[in-house]
Chains A and B, each alone.
Chain A
Amino acid sequence: MSKRVVSPRTIELELATPGIDAQGHATRVPLTADRAPAEPGLDEEHMLVNIGPQHPATHGVLRLVVELDGETVVRCIPHLGYLHSGFEKLGEYRHYNQIIPLTDRTDYLSPMSNNIGFALAAEKLMGIQITPRCTVLRVIACEMSRIISHMVWLGTTSIDLGAFTPFLWAFQQREKIYDLQEMWTGARLTTSLTRVGGLLADIPDGFVEKLRDFTKTFPKTLAEIDRVLTRNAVWAGRTQGVGTLTADEATNYSLSGPMLRASGVAYDVRKDKPYLGYETYDFDVVVGEHGDVYDRYLVRLEECHQSNRILEQALDRLPDGPINVDDPRVILPSKTRAMTDMEAMIFHFKQVMEGVKAPVGEAYVGIENPKGELGNYLVSDGTAKPVRWRIRPPSFINLAALPKMAEGHLLSDLIAINASVDIVMGEVDR
């Protein structure tokens, strides 16, 4: 397996910033050194600080209750559920195709790959083989999602740590992908791209050329971001050695995606349990060494390069052919056929009124979402609505390690650590 380790630790500082030691760490001035004790017994007292739920640095409606000893985090207790919408419960009352719009709204920073994750699980449950063109188009959608999600992560995290410029560059690139999503599905965010057994629509004219342009210009932005952040003294000082997790800890905490790989565990669902023919693409699994915020940054940045490589390969091999399976029980007939052909109309009626029935059984499909392994677990009792639809939410599980990572760090580091988890509350709370 091709594996790429990213984690340079000899940082050549481009700026001789005061307050940075030789290793690139910010020298911390103990604030209490010359302070006369204001009140007796204040030292033993711990303070309770509430951050959120409405706070820009918590990336949504996450609420953290932090116990502080001076400025050091003793304990961090996350409170969730402010965005809980009961998607899993709603899914039990919906046909399989009607669930797809719900998946848009879970991880709303990468809606297309959520759609695909659900569709793959439903197809596995029903035993449907999708067409070659659909497979490649889905790979394109997955990698586009990875790029926009990582760009949002990069932009918002750099803002949290005081760098504004990369945010603008990252969001500019994200906008280009959003234009492509809009071309394809008509929506920027609520894409609902997939249908069980196929796609909502084929790509429009000009899409391939526009995406190819993007793959050519995107590495330039990545290089620029790399130039302003990777060897930046402030960035390195605020992220290196912060929120460290060893490989064993990361595995034990069930972390996935960039969080797991930054700790040095080379597990990528695309390589280890391939779906959508990922085993036929040439790309590296990006792993870090130290498992800190800095390595998570490097891993995500390099993953954007790898996604770009996959996009290029997918565009080269994009076959012609139908996007939907040829099965009238699963795929709706075209409007024209439904209005002119008796048989097509019956199938149309049955699908809309009864939905697609799945055989009795269960299926779990995990896909490598930008934030980690997104699992969709479907249990069917033979009706058109699932008995249970479980989303394995990667950022929920990654966030569970936050109290462990934040312990003993400064309050300002808590913000960096929380940002490095890459949460999206729509998915954490579902």
Chain B
Amino acid sequence: MIPGALREAVARDGEPIVYVARERLLETMKWLKETPGQDFDYLVDVTAVEFRDKERPLEVVYFLRSLERKADLRVKVELNPSEELAVDSVWGLWHGADWLEREVFDMFGITFRGHPDLRRILMWETYAEGYPLRKNFPLRGRFSRAEQVRQALNANPEAHYSMEELSIAEASDDLPDDMRERLKRGERGVIPEPPHE
């Protein structure tokens, strides 16, 4: 029996699914990776699912594989949208989770606690329209095309760099004066205001 498992199911493609309690996710994953006979040494994918039914919880889905045993397992954590959307990061077990978790964060707004560098990945860092793959996000985005263009044209050059990267350049004092001024004031590009709904 897998520790922390709430219930089990079988997907339509015949793969086993295990639902795990959010608090015990990390413990379960560690057990699955390190227990002989389980040996799930390969993380295939991490993603999330939000259903059209608003009552249903969001699911964070982990696809695990044992390369040795050629077995697959799907681990799911259910998150209630009314509560905080956060789970523990599995980056410590599989480094491949780095960008996958960043993408889930970017697209669904789910926080991965303990992730070393949880930033947006496909959208830019100052993106202010929300989380694109959530069901309450309209297909064409929240802002009008004109507003998106206006923001893009008004962005300062430093908006294209992360704070970490700017700190490298700042040490060498190579940045233009106005850019350094803005950084000193704690501004970071133009952080846009969302238009009134």
B31 at the interface (CB under 8 A from A): no
Establish whether residues B124 and A81, one from each chain, have CB atoms under 8 Å apart when the complex forms.
yes
Pick the most buried of A373, A377, A429: most chain B CB atoms within 10 A of its CB: A377
Contact partners of A375 in chain B: CB under 8 A: 44-45, 63
Which chain A residues numbered 336 to 366 have a C-beta less than 8 Å away from chain B? 359, 361-366
Contact partners of B44 in chain A: CB under 8 A: 254, 366, 373, 375, 392
Pick the most buried of A265, A364, A387: most chain B CB atoms within 10 A of its CB: A364
> In the complex where A45-B172, A251-B67, A375-B45 touch, is A77 in contact with B122 (Cβ < 8 A)?
no
Q: How many residues of B contact A (CB 8 A)?
A: 48
Q: Is the interface of A mostly helix, strand, loop or mixed?
A: mixed
CA distance A67 to B172 in the complex (A): 12
Contact partners of B139 in chain A: CB under 8 A: 89-90, 93
How near does chain B come to A312, taking the closest CB pair, in angstroms? 27
How near does chain B come to A66, taking the closest CB pair, in angstroms? 10
> In the complex where A77-B164, A81-B122, A388-B50 touch, is A252 in contact with B15 (Cβ < 8 A)?
no
> In the complex where A363-B12, A364-B11, A364-B13 touch, is A400 in contact with B63 (Cβ < 8 A)?
no
Establish whether residues B67 and A362, one from each chain, have CB atoms under 8 Å apart when the complex forms.
no
Query: What's the count of A-B pairs with C-beta under 8 Å?
Result: 125
> In the complex where A81-B121, A89-B132, A400-B99 touch, is A381 in contact with B12 (Cβ < 8 A)?
no
B179 at the interface (CB under 8 A from A): no
| Size category, A interface | 35 or more
Establish whether residues A67 and B51, one from each chain, have CB atoms under 8 Å apart when the complex forms.
no
CA distance A202 to B103 in the complex (A): 39
Closest chain A residue, CB of each to CB of B63: A364
A397 at the interface (CB under 8 A from B): yes
Contact partners of B99 in chain A: CB under 8 A: 396-397, 399-400
Contact partners of A79 in chain B: CB under 8 A: 160
CA distance A381 to B54 in the complex (A): 13
How near does chain A come to B55, taking the closest CB pair, in angstroms? 12
Which chain B residues numbered 65 to 88 have a C-beta less than 8 Å away from chain A? 67, 70, 72, 74
Establish whether residues A392 and B122, one from each chain, have CB atoms under 8 Å apart when the complex forms.
no
Closest chain B residue, CB of each to CB of A385: B52
Establish whether residues B96 and A252, one from each chain, have CB atoms under 8 Å apart when the complex forms.
yes
Establish whether residues A390 and B47, one from each chain, have CB atoms under 8 Å apart when the complex forms.
yes
How near does chain B come to A83, taking the closest CB pair, in angstroms? 9
- Could you pull out 27 A-B pairs where Cβ atoms are within 8 angstroms? A46-B168, A46-B172, A48-B168, A65-B161, A81-B123, A84-B122, A89-B133, A89-B139, A251-B42, A253-B96, A267-B67, A363-B11, A363-B13, A364-B15, A364-B74, A365-B13, A377-B47, A377-B61, A379-B49, A379-B51, A381-B53, A387-B52, A392-B44, A392-B45, A400-B96, A404-B95, A430-B122
